Amino acid sequence: MVDMSTAVGRTELPNPVMTASGTAGHGGELGRYVPLASLGALVVKSLSIMAWEGNPGPRVVQLPGAMMNSVGLQGPGVAGWIAEELPELRASGARIVASIWGRTVEEYRQAAEALVPVQDDLTAVEINVSCPNIEDRRKMFAHSCESAAEVIHATEALEIPRWAKLSPNVSDIAEIAGAAGDAGADAVTLTNTLLGLVLDPATGRPVLGGGGGGVSGPAMRPVALRAVFDVAAAHPELPIVGVGGIADATDAVQYLRAGASAVQVGTATFADPRATQRVTRDLETWCETTGVVRLRDLIGTAHT
């Protein structure tokens, strides 16, 4: 019997496999396929202070070993989510991780404050800083230490753990992760999608309605895995949640060995809605057959 429990900083989880934000809806949608309470945690799609329409279609395109999306953060807003989705999620018994985004530091502050009344229902809040800052030439908050830190500071009304979700499109992710940790993030989630573009060769126009998009899936796994490895090496005290291209248990093992305390499964869920459950089960089997008694013993072993 393997002890599959883990901890992301002060957050104890019965197993390390969560959904990735934006790939399992805002509410209980995935519950038709997976008992939500069996997940390490359910991370909901990022919410802003206001309801948001998102980008025009097409919103996704399939690529070799990957997909690219430009959903544009469509969502009901924090208040709409609390009214419409949270009751079902609460009833499911799932450990709920909310996720917030904003276009300005002030919008992050407002979204965080709007979650304060329901924070006892939440396990953690992911702060998705991989969003364009409209006050800084649309540069992503996660592309500068100062902006990332400012956003984390702005969300400090929340007393539950806050995880900073970072972008892989930076030259030194360890520096950004360190700034987020110093600003009060309990953990970093590594990583969001890679910036990408697909053009229609006939017209020269972007294939996706929003223009460029975010590349996810197995093709980005080495990039996100390296981000986890580099951040764990630079900041051994900063808990990490690893995400990017995890499709099976051996992918998850790589992230744990690189230094992630837990992992998230995103794109794989579109092909197989039970992917999280399969990865968890196969991870337990992998531990059994390789003689790992406590999953926690795997974490960071690539550094020893």
Identify which range of 14-22, 32-40, 177-185, 290-298 contacts ligand FMN by CB under 6 A: 14-22
Total binding residues toward ligand FMN, as defined by CB under 6 A? 24
Residue labelled with tokens 């934006």: 22
Identify which range of 29-37, 69-77, 133-141, 178-186 contacts ligand FMN by CB under 6 A: 69-77
Has 145 been annotated as catalytic?
A: no
Identify which range of 173-181, 212-220, 234-242, 293-301 contacts ligand FMN by CB under 6 A: 212-220
Find the binder of ligand FMN among 18, 34, 73, 154 (CB under 6 A): 73
* Position 162 contacts ligand FMN (CB under 6 A): no
* Position 266 contacts ligand FMN (CB under 6 A): yes
Site string for ligand FMN, 103-142 (x = CB under 6 A): -------------------------x--------------
* Position 69 contacts ligand FMN (CB under 6 A): yes
- At position 282, the amino acid (one-letter code) is D
* Position 192 contacts ligand FMN (CB under 6 A): yes
Q: Which residues bind ligand FMN (CB under 6 A)?
A: 20-23, 45-46, 69, 71, 73, 99, 128, 165, 192-193, 216-217, 220, 243-246, 265-267
For the annotated catalytic residues, the residue numbers are 131
